[in-house]
RNA sequence: GGUCCCAUCGUCUAGAGGCCUAGGACAGUGCCCUCUCAAGGCAUAGACACGGGUUCGAAUCCCGUUGGGACCGCCA
């Protein structure tokens, strides 16, 4: 049984985008499932547009997504000799010819054809031109009779009339190779068995098949996956929001949430929605990739992200959260507190950015008070109750959830107040906001010292004071 | 303009001729739970683009129409 080999072949002209990531993922899954090899190839034959930064960005993104490759990255720019050799071989075999038309002439003819509403095809005029003492490009002499059938794992058999396919340039007049030549040479020499790529390449495929045949190479299997569209059903672009994979990292997404989302965009396994990487590798199949293009739905991605935030160990989330907290100026000393804080926020955060916002107060000596919240909940008439609460909290030996809860309950019984009318002011006093994790857990994590002290120092005047006061500063509640 | 691809709820999709009064998920709506915000639970609304065939029977097969998309480069 032959080894399954797939490849992802981005061109380094920008960051890794959502569509590319999905193509990479499908190739990765297919290779892993068949215990084959996943190869990364950088298609940088267009020297003018390719940049090293793009290559790095793509590598970073793949690494973040967990798409590790077995071979590569290979750079086409380092294989020019090989392509040139192939082009000249075809020339020698009379399967290609020199074209002396200039780029300008070609462009003018194309414009003219468009104007007349005709297909802008090359007319093959240099096929019989022979040799001239002029600069030339090399064109592939594509067979003009018969049909070429693309047997595609997703689209089925797609037939093209050979007469519709024109002679494409494989070697530019500056001796650099073009895309179609490179892909064929590389896929053949790298022994790629399955070419899984976007269906924008479907129309190129017959040309490539012709070249495989001209070289006498085996034709790989093809699978053309449908495009990803934006909400208006046009090709996904920046207009529709973030398209860069790494932008999602910055927005606080978990890599596996994106992976899971991308896998389910176009592929399905019955009614299942949640897949671990291991499950994806086990269950993925090209047969279950849909034929139609799909709209990228940020809301569902967000839901998946929330799901994984909820269902990942707090310690792991804490690790991922750390840079987000530090970006907000939080100083993280120990490892225990972040994990505890995370635990209280997992059910209420859809992204790590959101979680960092919610966790900020745990880690800052100074918190920002929401003015409206202060005015609404920290009224003087609550001072008395707060004072009583502080006294009770002070009396707790083991400062844990159950004891704290009991302190509140006792106070509720004693004062006849509703829990809410006590909890809300305390929440504002401790967090500066009206929304937070459960107040008992907040108090437990903050600890006795900080709770009692900041509770005592809670603002009752709309000044710009922060929660944590220096011990020497005066307190509003006299203690 | 030519070639090619595609077509089930708003979105992702299940559906391989009878299991479909079309299932699930996200988003929406309502209720429950509740110290806030969430999460969760329950319920609800919502689709086979259209027209012809084939068949006892079609979301499923065929043809056409319409609508979307991709490609037509000395870009990849």
Residue A126 C-beta-side C-alpha neighbours within 13 Å: 24
ipTM of this complex > 0.90? yes
Q: Is the CB of A165 under 7 A from strand B?
A: no
* The token pair that represents A408 in the structure block: 């509140």
CA distance A430 to A425: 9
Give the pLDDT band of residue A401 (cuts 50, 70, 90): confident
Residues whose CB falls within 8 Å of the CB of residue A257, separated by 6 or more in sequence, listed in order: A301, A304, A305, A307, A308
- Over residues A342-378, the pLDDT tens digits come to 999 999 999 999 999 999 999 887 778 888 888 888 8
CA distance A13 to A427: 50
**Structure-model confidence comparison of residues A29 and A106, the more confident one:** A29
**Structure-model confidence comparison of residues A95 and A236, the more confident one:** A95
What pLDDT is recorded for position A461?
43
pLDDT > 50? residue A473: no
Contact of A100 with A126, CB cutoff 8 Å? yes
The one-character DSSP state at A117 is T
Give the residue carrying structure tokens 């839901």: A303
What pLDDT is recorded for position A233?
85
Q: Which nucleotide is nearest to A295 (CA to C1')?
A: B11
- Over residues A114-161, the pLDDT tens digits come to 777 777 788 777 888 777 888 899 999 999 899 999 999 999 999 999
pLDDT > 90? residue A25: yes
Q: Is the CB of A43 under 7 A from strand B?
A: yes
- Over residues A83-110, the pLDDT tens digits come to 999 999 999 999 999 999 888 888 888 8
- State pTM to two decimals: 0.92
What pLDDT is recorded for position A454?
65
Active site residues of A: 238
CA distance A365 to A393: 21
Q: Is the CB of A3 under 7 A from strand B?
A: no
pLDDT > 90? residue A337: no
pLDDT > 60? residue A479: no
The one-character DSSP state at A226 is P
Q: Give distance CA A271 / C1' B22 (Å).
A: 14
Cα A320 off chain centre by? 16
What pLDDT is recorded for position A475?
39
**Of A411, A407, A409, whose CA–CA distance to A385 is shortest?**
A411
CA distance A93 to A98: 13
Q: Which nucleotide is nearest to A302 (CA to C1')?
A: B26
Give the residue carrying structure tokens 């973040």: A64
């Amino acid at each position: 049984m032959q080894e399954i080999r797939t490849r992802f072949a981005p061109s380094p002209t920008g960051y890794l985008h959502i569509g590319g990531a999905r193509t990479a993922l499908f190739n990765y899954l297919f290779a892993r499932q068949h215990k084959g090899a996943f190869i990364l190839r950088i298609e940088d034959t267009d020297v003018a547009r390719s940049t090293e930064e793009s290559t790095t960005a793509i590598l970073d993104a793949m690494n973040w997504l967990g798409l590790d490759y077995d071979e590569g990255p290979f750079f086409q720019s380092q294989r020019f000799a090989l392509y040139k050799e192939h082009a000249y071989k075809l020339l020698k075999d009379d399967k290609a010819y020199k074209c002396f038309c200039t780029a300008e002439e070609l462009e003018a003819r194309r414009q003219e054809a468009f104007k007349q509403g005709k297909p802008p095809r090359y007319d093959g005029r240099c096929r019989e031109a022979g040799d001239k003492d002029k600069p030339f490009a090399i064109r592939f002499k594509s067979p003009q009779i018969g049909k070429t059938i693309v047997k595609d794992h997703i689209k089925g058999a797609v037939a093209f009339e050979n007469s519709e396919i024109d002679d494409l340039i494989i070697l530019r007049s500056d001796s650099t190779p073009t895309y179609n030549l490179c892909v064929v040479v590389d896929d053949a020499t790298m022994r790629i068995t399955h070419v899984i790529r976007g269906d924008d390449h479907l129309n190129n495929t017959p040309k490539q098949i012709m070249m495989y045949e001209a070289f006498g190479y085996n034709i790989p299997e093809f699978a053309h996956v449908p495009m990803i569209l934006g909400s208006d059903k046009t090709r996904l672009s920046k207009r529709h929001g973030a398209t860069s994979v790494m932008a999602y990292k910055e927005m606080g997404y978990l890599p596996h949430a994106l992976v899971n989302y991308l896998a389910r965009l176009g592929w399905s396994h019955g009614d299942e929605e949640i897949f671990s990487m291991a499950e994806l590798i086990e269950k993925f199949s090209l047969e279950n990739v849909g034929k139609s293009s799909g709209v990228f739905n940020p809301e569902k991605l967000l839901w998946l992200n929330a799901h994984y935030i909820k269902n990942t160990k707090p310690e792991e989330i804490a690790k991922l959260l750390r840079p987000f907290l530090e970006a907000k100026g939080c100083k993280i000393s120990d490892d225990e507190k972040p994990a505890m804080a995370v635990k209280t926020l997992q059910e209420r955060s859809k992204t790590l950015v959101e979680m960092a916002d919610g966790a900020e107060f745990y880690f800052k000596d100074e918190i920002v008070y929401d003015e409206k919240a202060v005015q609404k909940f920290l009224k003087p008439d609550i001072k008395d109750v707060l004072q009583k609460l502080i006294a009770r909290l002070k009396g707790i030996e083991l400062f844990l959830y159950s004891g704290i809860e009991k302190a509140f309950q006792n106070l509720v019984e004693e004062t006849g107040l509703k829990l809410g009318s006590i909890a809300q002011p305390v929440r504002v006093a401790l967090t500066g906001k009206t929304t937070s994790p459960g107040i008992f857990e907040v108090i437990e994590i903050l600890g006795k010292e900080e709770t009692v002290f900041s509770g005592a120092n809670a603002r009752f005047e709309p000044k710009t004071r922060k929660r944590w006061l220096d011990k020497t500063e005066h307190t509003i509640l006299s203690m």
